Chain A
Amino acid sequence: MNRDVIVIGGGTAGMEAAGQLAKAECKVTLIEKEEEAGGHVRNWCHLFPDRRNSADVVKYLSDLINQKNITFLKGTSVESINKSKKKFHIKTNRGHEMLSDAVVIATGFDLFKSEKKEEYGYGIYNNVITSADLEAMFRSGDLRKQNGEIPGRIGFVHCVGSRDEKSGNLYCSKLCCVTAVKQAIEIREHLPESKVFCFYMDMRMGGAHYEELYMQSQEKYAVNFIRGKVSEVGESINNGLIVKVEDTLAGRPLKMELDMLVLMAGMEMAEGGRKIAGMSGLNTGENRFFAAADNHFGSNISNIKGIFYAGTCTAPMNITETISHARASVTEVMDYLKESNI
């Protein structure tokens, strides 16, 4: 039995899929464009809902791909995919030419480029940061403004590049709400003197233990939740951020000065995934993510026989869902190999 499978993308989904495929005795090549495997989780500090250290997840995944059946190609990206008969022919930017029997696409997501919502001032005002920047601060253990001061009033803007027709993303990224809640709690723990405000449209707490965390953030950590979208951000004379927002519950416009503003950037189809969609003829949906063959029982299956999807290249997912989805893709791959007598 010598069945080759190529997994494109070495994040959570790709690593999980590669590991499970290797366990099922496939010869796996895992292609990752960065110098290190791990994807977005590597940059995160703690994970919701239980705030476990993300390093645990990275360690689990790294151990999983540390098998003799797996070849890990770092710093490599796919240049072309061609199918002839039942073989996939893949070329990379580093000159590899590979043949495989099946392909798992696990190209994941990119964070929405917050500069595009210029009215929030990311890249223009020093103390406007994204959720990912904040997570990096948590990792360094040093939560400060650009000038080194400790921020006193911190705001979170939900739905940046999600549920926003003008940004071209009509869908909900679904993790940002709970991430904001988690980060708000962490800020309050780091800086007990601080005041935290979340500006939200809806609080979408549809996951195990999310609602409890939300409750806790209000009762225990006194995070303020203001329902309304931020319309614009300006700068005050003393370099504070002036945030204009409508409080739709109180029915009045608000203008408040904050020290720091965190933008909850949504998830978009990854640039790499878009390139692969362009070169391979894989279908994408209106939300630009890969379109699965069936929403209910074919979420790993693509429109090309032998190519399968794993993880957030099809839709926003949290770590738990990504790992489940990656495992499911392995089942699909094994079924396919068996049915095709490979």
Chain B
Amino acid sequence: MLTSILLLFAASSLAPLAHRALGKRAGVCLAAVPALLFAHFVGQLGSVTAGRASAESWDWVAGLGIRLAFHLDGLSLLFALLVTGIGALVLVYGAGYLEGDPRLPRFSAAMLFFMAAMLGLVLADDAIALFVFWELTSVSSYLLIGFDHEQEKARKSALQALFVTGAGGLAMLAGLLLLGEAAGTLQLSALGAEAARIQGHSLHLPALLLILLGAFTKSAQFPFHFWLPGAMAAPSPVSAYLHSATMVKAGIYLLARLNPALGGTDAWHYLVILAGATTLVTGAVLAYGQTDLKRLLAFTTVSALGTLTLLVGISTEHSARAAMAFLLVHALYKAALFLGVGAIDHEAGTRDVRELGGLARAMPLTAFAVCASALSMAGLPPLFGYVAKEFFHEAKQEVPRAAAWVSTASFFGSALVAAAAGLVAWRPFFGRRRSQLSAHEAPPALWLGPVLLALLGVALGLFPGSLAVPLIQPAASAMRGEPTVVELAPWLGLSPALVQSLLMLAAGAVLYAVHDRALAALAPLRGLAKLGPDRGYQALMAGLVALARAQTRALQNGVLGVYLLVTIGSAVALAGYALFSRVALAAPAGGGVRLGEAAVALAMVVGAIAVIRARTTLIGVAALGVVGYGVAVIFLLFGGPDLALTQFAIETLSVLLFVLVLRRLPPMRQLSPPSEHLRDGFVAVAGGLFVTALVLAATATPHATPLRDWFAANSLAAANGRNVVNVILVDFRAFDTLGEITVLAVAALGVAALLRLRPEDRKESL
């Protein structure tokens, strides 16, 4: 399984090269990678259906008990098939959609990267590994949503998605760690067996809340649903992939994965069902109010995610099979719809239902794919969406509390979604043909994916027993944590569920018929939309920026003196407090002062006084040099030739730097009043006293472990070097040094960049 993830990562990094070398065929060649993986996972169906889960595992961070572990059970397999299968189709589609666009290599690379992260997420068997892949999907989806990075809207939407899902991801990490603490293991597949222990643990509720926060933000549950429609700024293939089978389903996956461990409690029921039902209705209402096809689909996605959350929240046998069936059918029809709408947009130049019409003759294949998928979304027989809807109606009878409320709410939600499906299926293709006379059928790359997905939806609906059961049964079993039998027949007979389905469709038809009038009547209410949670997000971001600005203005206002004051002042205050509250100071033990040492100290004091009294900067620099060389001499006197050597070199070079800088500065002038001199002097003296006290405390404290002796004893023996200082730097503590030179390198980059930003250059470039 690690191999398949690495294969996708490799394909991602090779994608730009492939596009350069293969030209137009690159898209299909790259799509072959996920297609092969799809075939591989299909091959695994047999053993997984038979109940044999395969696993592999490596030590990762052994000290923290973190393993790079993967586990393939029914739930993972269903997701892996969707991720790789739809992924391959979307890559082919994307190559056609962005044909001739110089950004196509970037699209393929980001898409494959996201695919790898998503596959890792659904296969991971370790909570930390899951988190890492989870965040990788957030980061790569940022790149995908912000694909049109030259447009401000795309950048803002991408950032919003990243912030919302990233913040949720951090909460989830905390939750998973608490969960691991309560369960005693981070292995996801072992959590189910610890359910009793977890649910009785005092950390159960905090862990649950934090994990739900992660899942709800990722899966766009109310009130975090606002980032999903914004993410429509991405190109159609990206939306099709992110919002059908992958990104937004990650939260559902997490809930289903943790259902054996966390599900079934009162808190779980309340929170998950409430969030799901609210999201279901909110998404459906908002979808009904749209005229842009892509936004409409986005809100139906929100509604579908609500449905899935609701079903996972019920966590009974019926709801598990309904959840998995609905997950499968939603991925199929929603991917087809997004791709189909992308094709309409590509050919007709608009996605607005009010401007589209009569395209069925011009685009028969796209019309078939979109109509079949939309009918599946509405839940019409014989499509697979109907089967999923029937299951849903059965499952919601088992809601533990307020069944009537949830039932009514989901009834209206489903009716609204059915009406929205009607808008997608009918308006663009039938009725009077409008302005887009030149529109014709999309190229094969653009209709292949939607048509295949739509056919799959039809086939699953016609032969659910032989095609859908092998997928859904193991997935539902994995979600329940116990073997679950799923029986499917295309016609479930005249049941209460069928009656509900028919009523719901009738209500949907009515809503569809009055759509234009309803929109006109509700137009005055549009202002209310501005009061949504999006506003809270905007206010939060604005507040963050204002806070950053205020503290930057206070602490980093560009006056170097203030920087020094703040740095030295806080170091003295904080470290000084810690020092004096814990360590008793003692006078240095014995030993007189040699004449040479006294002379050097005197020279340094004179140098320091000269710095203060200097009338020109050059004299100041020279006097500062005296202090620096004095320090070097002291190193030499006390047996630190390495330190002395380095100090001499540094001093020489800094004088040189000063000279180069000084040429640009105006002559020194006294600008600050005496009161500020007094303040600066006070802080400087405090800093000096503090460092003296620190040295005294350090020498007075007996060291528990004589590190010095250890280094001296091992330097030659273990590291082949007699110069202990150097051996520590390049061998014993080489990792620290690597970090330090990395920091230095970054600082040098910053300095070089800042110095190139000179005012005169800026004027030139304007």
Partners in one complex: no
